[in-house]
Amino acid sequence: MRDEQERFWRAGYEDEVEVIKRRKANGYTVRIRRDADGVVREYHVAELNWEDHSEYLWTEGSFGCDCNLELFFERAAGNKIEDEVLRCGNHRFTAISVLLPNGITIMLERSS
């Protein structure tokens, strides 16, 4: 069940990207921290605009889940990671801030 949910969330991400690719996107950059060692990587989201729901998505929402954050964290370094090793949770990775194309930085806060 949990695996199915993970696949659904990631499939949802790919679907959303496909839809939004058809619009013109300005993109944004998310700073993702691996909490175990404090390493921060910048993941550029080219296909999306920062919108009203985006902060929720990266904190309480599905992008803020460890499985997606780990995927983006590894992609940010050009690494590939197998779906099978991605695990859900909210203790291993944190989306700490977002850099918008206009130079503004938004700090992200997760309530849990």
88 binds Zn ion (CB under 5 A): yes
Is residue 65 involved in binding Zn ion (CB under 5 A)?
Answer: yes
Q: Is 76 in the site for Zn ion (CB under 5 A)?
A: no
How many CB atoms lie under 10 A from the CB of residue 34?
A: 16
The verdict on 32 binding Zn ion (CB under 5 A) reads: no
> Binding-site residue total for Zn ion (CB under 5 A)?
4
Nearer to Zn ion, 42 or 61 (CB): 61
Closest CA to 106 of 98, 72, 39: 98
Considering beta carbons, is residue 10 or 41 the nearer one to Zn ion? Answer: 10
Phi, psi of 45 (to 5 degrees): -100, 100
Cα 25-32-90 angle, rounded to 5 deg: 115
Q: How far is the CB of 74 from Zn ion (least distance, A)?
A: 14
Q: SS3 of 49, please? A: coil
Residues at the interface with Zn ion (CB under 5 A) = 6, 65, 67, 88
